[in-house]
Amino acid sequence: MGGIADYSGATVLEATIGARTTVLVQPRGDGRIRVVTVGPEAGTLDGATFELSSDVFWRQDPGTTGSTLVTPDHLRNAIGKENRWASYVVGVWYILLSEGIATTLPGANVIVHGTVPLGAGVASSAALEVATMRAVTTAFGIDLDGFRIAALCQLVEHRVAGAPCGIMDQVTCTLGQSGRLLALQCQPHDILGHVPLPAGATVLGLDSGVKHAVGGERYPRVRTAAFMGREMLIKGIEGVRTEVPGDHLCNIDPEAFRAVRHHLPVRITGGDFLDHYGNHRDPATHIDRATQYRIRGATAHAVSEQSRVVRFRDALGNATSTTKASTREAALVRAGRQMYGSHRSYSRNCGLGAPETDMIVNLARSEGPDNGIYGAKITGGGSGGTVAILAEAGDGGALSSRAYLAVTRLRNAFAQSTGRPPRIIDGTSPGAMQLPAIIEVW
């Protein structure tokens, strides 16, 4: 819950999954970085290799014997679009250097083994960044806390991979706990606690099979629109200005926003915005003058999602604190209602839905609480990927018998319509900082 409202300062609730990414780093003295990927989820990248010299990070200063770090654009060009996957690994070296955490770094042989599904909206890129950062800093004797690692991994994504993500995935991959939802207030990243799932409830994911990518076109466009909407509210529309506490849209009172929402244009071109309002103050995205941005919807989602997250968290708390089965189920139904509302806003306000994810959500809703299905929503950046399902659990935390039958019917109906059953993503595991790094010397 919270999803794409993280960059607007929202509170988000995110859980780890059972899959993981493991990175092995073997330092080498010739300055070269060689990356090899293996694993069941690597797909076409299984056995893929990428290699470059760390000299690529530097350019000679004219007329001197000194050198300067190259720009992120220069590094991206050196890596190449066809090897974009490697930027999540090589970018760790670059960010450690550019942030002054290290002045020099040796090269390394790097092996990446992953079971996190790629392009499924379950933070495969964040898992790769965090695992690489953890391995590299351990191998080279750099001591960083979990928050710092997460923030640096976000910079890898922004500057080197070129994806304008929020920070929730990186923090959860770093500091998440098994079986709990990490509650993070993204202003910029304050952990509010770890929320347990109540007895009798579990969460699983159903992968729609539609590849999701934060680095695609739709997610950055929605993010850009949200920041544009924020500036329009602050600077005034038709003479009406709105206070945006702390510069975060999620801090706007929903009632106050409803009074001014109609002043925001449904759409505006980037050129018209730049001419009237100037910079949108988002370092992770840029405004294209010719693009039409859905200002009203993107802004409304950022404001309303915060309320849904709070209601969802409160409902889980109510379900946890009661011993009465009927009261617990009623609270879980309320939690599920917030999930459905979030999903609807992704699609209607932001345009980040997909027919396949909508189908899964609608099938889940049709099964309903009577069959042990309480709620469903698209995850991550939307536009495909995975749908999270809040369902009834039996003893041991597995799906109850009625919820299992409901999920089976759902998968069969989806398969009959699309030709493929949605893959189940389940389980839970600790974040990277909860696990010891393994060092072998030979």
Task: Output the pTM of the full model.
Answer: 0.90
The answer to whether residues 425 and 209 touch, using CB atoms and an 8 Å cutoff, is: no
The answer to whether residues 207 and 380 touch, using CB atoms and an 8 Å cutoff, is: no
> How large is the average pLDDT for residues 151-180?
92
Between CA 173 and CA 432 the distance in angstroms is 6
User: Phi first, then psi: what are they for 205, rounded to 5°?
Assistant: -115, 145
Between CA 94 and CA 161 the distance in angstroms is 11
Distances (CA, A) of 257 to 89, 244, 302, 342, 408: 41, 10, 11, 17, 41
> How large is the average pLDDT for residues 3-23?
93
Between CA 171 and CA 430 the distance in angstroms is 12
What are 98-157's pLDDT values in tens digits? 999 999 999 999 999 988 888 888 889 999 999 999 999 999 999 999 999 999 999 999
Between CA 124 and CA 5 the distance in angstroms is 19
Tokens matching residue 401: 């018998």
> How large is the average pLDDT for residues 294-309?
96
**Strand duo 32-38 + 107-114: pairing:** parallel
Residue type, 102: A
HEC per residue, 130-182: HHHHHHHHHHCCCCCCHHHHHHHHHHHHHHHHCCCCCCHHHHHHHHCCCCEEE
The answer to whether residues 88 and 158 touch, using CB atoms and an 8 Å cutoff, is: no
Residue 52 has pLDDT above 80, yes or no: yes
259-304-245 Cα angle (round to 5):
70
pLDDT-based confidence at residue 216 (cuts at 50, 70, 90): low
Tokens matching residue 127: 């898992």
Kindly list the structural domains of the chain, giving each domain's residue range(s) and its CATH number in brackets, ordered by start. Answer: 17-175 (3.30.230.10)
Tokens matching residue 182: 């990490």
Residue 43: what pLDDT?
Answer: 67
pLDDT-based confidence at residue 212 (cuts at 50, 70, 90): low
pLDDT-based confidence at residue 262 (cuts at 50, 70, 90): very high
Between CA 176 and CA 21 the distance in angstroms is 14
Residue 159 has pLDDT above 90, yes or no: yes
Element (H, E) at 437: none
Beta-ladder partners of 33:
52, 108
What are 323-341's pLDDT values in tens digits? 999 999 999 999 999 999 9
Residue 215: what pLDDT?
Answer: 55
